[in-house]
Chain A
Amino acid sequence: MPDARDAAARSADHAGIHRLVDALVPALIAKLGTLNVGELEVREGDWRIRLRRPAGAGPTYGRRATDRPSRAHPGHEQHGHAPGAPEPHRTVRASHAAGTPGDQSTNGSSGPSLAPVGPGRSGDAGPDREAPEGGALTRIATSPAVGVFQPGPRAVGGTRVRAGDPLGVVDMLGVPQEVVSPVDGIVVGVIVDAGTAVEYGQELVHLEIATLVEGR
């Protein structure tokens, strides 16, 4: 495709890039170093620039809303287990032998499906799942009970919520137990599907903290 824009526009862009690289980026890097955040983004005109800490260099993120000694710490895999201790089974398996995560209905007729449970218990619950942006300051809303998860209208990516806002319910024998946001922030997405059986403390909704989003 030939470039539709004229030479003047291109030269303005180049000037803009030089200015960003020479002045703004070093200033942002310095700023990022002083803030306790993993990522910064600024917009100027048509340009957007995002800086991200390398993995592992950021602040502790993905810490659970509920207090989980020995499981919330990075590197907890070694905690409390001497060599030779039996390897924990890490998931609650689907309760219906024929069911697979993809084909279970959510209307209860074939029973709830079961997602991997618990931080550090699921085989796939690594740092990637806890912080999909690779460094964004995130929080997780967890399950207040053992039961079946039903996300609420606010549990949709992009929704701005305040700490304590309801994100859905976990139905425990017909009694709804509210899932609440642990922080002021923006919903990134739900971690388990509607109608999934969840255990106490299971990670349900992924949020990004408001202070980061505001670019404070």
Chain B
Amino acid sequence: MLSEPTVRELESTARRLRVEILKMLNMARSGHTGGSLSAIDLLTCLFFNRMRHDPGNPGWESRDRFVLSKGHAAPALYACLAESGYFPRDDLKTLRRLGSHLQGHPDMSKTPGVEVCTGSLGQGFSQAVGLALAGRLSGGTSRIYALLGDGEVQEGQIWEAAMAAAHYRLDNFCAMLDMNGLQIDGKVSDVMEVNPLGPKFLAFNWHVLEIDGHDFQAMDRAFEDAEKTKGRPTMIIARTVKGKGVPFFEHKASYHGVPPSDEELGLAMEHLGHS
């Protein structure tokens, strides 16, 4: 259970990170707005409350590891890494620029704190399963977290990896599903229905939790529950709102891969209490 001040602090951090995300996307003039905003509360809870990591020593062997399998939400990850201190916040202004260490999709070779290369959907999830296997072989206590999109689970590789994680009883592995209900071409249910997801992962022998992905208490309880679960990996299905935090972006598939214009940025900043 998080204390009230901790919840307020996480909410305030997430609000600040939303501003960073919108600013970097606006400067980059391209990138994925909606899915970064739907995921940022989950990432905030992980990076600033749950995970053991050391920005001063990104290679620390016993660290917990986070894999952004829905790699197009890179701005959310970069905002968290900068806020943690993996690199200067000013670097965020270089997102997607030639020569920048902040590529359009996460690149472990270029960005401190990025664990694996993701962006081609489905592949991060498999790599996270591999990291969990390696963690178990090394005998450490590190936990592996991965964030999937709900459109992403249309990839067949997701289900190959889901089978493997359960088969190898990876209880050091906790995946989250950012269920915002939208993908580039429209509603997930119109493009290719993926529901019911809870029963699917249950049938794949996962421990499944369903929560509100913008409720920090619920997230913390779910991470705690996952950590106590033995013999099975955990899937946290987090109901989220695409574009969350900026009313005119919310629930809109059209903001999947579109950055905020200067005018939209101004309005959004006002809404988020920044000017």
Co-complex (A, B): no
Q: Which residues of A contact B (CB under 8 A)?
A: none
